[in-house]
Amino acid sequence: MLHAVIREHLASARPVASAELVRRYRMTVSSATVRNELAALEQLGLLTHPHTSSGRVPTDLGYRYFIEALMPQPDIRPEERVTLSHQFRQAQPDMGEWLRLAASTLARLTAEAAIATYDRVLEEHEVTWTREIHYEGIDQILTQPEFQMGERVRGVLSLLQDRQLLSQVLPGSLGEGDVAVSIGSEHALEPLRPLSVVIGRYGHREGAVGYVGVVGPTRMDYHRTIGAVRYVGTLMSDVVRALDG
């Protein structure tokens, strides 16, 4: 039932009513029975009930439970994997070009804002480094219903433009090929709580050298987004190894 609510809310951005679920999924039970099931999920903290609507929407805890217990193995379509692999192989052997390609690819696949970073060491003996960052898809995220209010727009722009704030979101303990998901209220920083952030790390076995990720509302297609971030991270690891010979 939770999976159905998340799927419908993702598609419509509206609260989901019991009668809608019965009709949409051709259930053989009454809308009253479904309403009771939704109420039970609400008592568990997985759904919430907006005051202005008879429907329910997922909570941050509901999305977390979906990711960890209900969601199929994250992935993108096989034909997309083939196309992306070809695009990365055909790109110029330049880190800036690969960062732009990674960010634009993630923005296109997810219809969210995307980030690609590269940590470049400047002075090896003094461990001095700089972080190169590319963004794509900011215009896409700002058109979504959740970001029609000014304060939420400011939160998105703050994350994407403030390097110090961004550094606090990037998980330092993440290994190569791993993906971390932070959902809404799980963020320690108030401006980020309307957002979900999906971040993957890429690079060498000896030490990852950058991140790729997606920023969007908590109403996010986590299955596709996590799969896209993981696969683009894998491609970035491959091209970094090729660049270093």
**What is the pLDDT at residue 190?**
82
Whether residue 167 is found in the same domain as residue 239: yes
Number of domains within the chain: 2
pLDDT confidence tier of residue 63, bands split at 50, 70 and 90: very high
pTM over 0.75: yes
Domain containing residue 139: CATH number:
3.30.450.40
Query: Which of 70, 93, 118 is the last residue before a domain boundary?
Result: 70
**What is the pLDDT at residue 205?**
57
Q: In this predicted model, what pLDDT tens digit does every residue of 179-236 receive, in sequence order?
A: 999 999 998 888 788 889 999 999 865 555 889 999 999 999 999 999 999 999 999 9
Choose among 95, 94, 89, 116: nearest CA to 104: 116
Nearest-angstrom CA–CA distance, 29 and 240: 54
Whether residue 194 is found in the same domain as residue 128: yes
Whether residue 132 is found in the same domain as residue 148: yes
Q: In this predicted model, what pLDDT tens digit does every residue of 6-59 receive, in sequence order?
A: 999 999 999 999 999 999 998 999 999 999 999 999 999 999 988 766 799 999
Q: Which residue has the higher pLDDT, 228 or 156?
A: 228
The domain in which residue 50 lies consists of 2-70
Whether residue 147 is found in the same domain as residue 51: no
- Burial tier of 205 (Cβ tally within 10 Å: 0-12, 13-18, 19+): exposed
Q: Are 191 and 147 in contact (CB under 8 A)?
A: no
Whether residue 94 is found in the same domain as residue 152: yes
Domain containing residue 59: CATH number:
1.10.10.10
Query: Which of 22, 45, 70 is the last residue before a domain boundary?
Result: 70
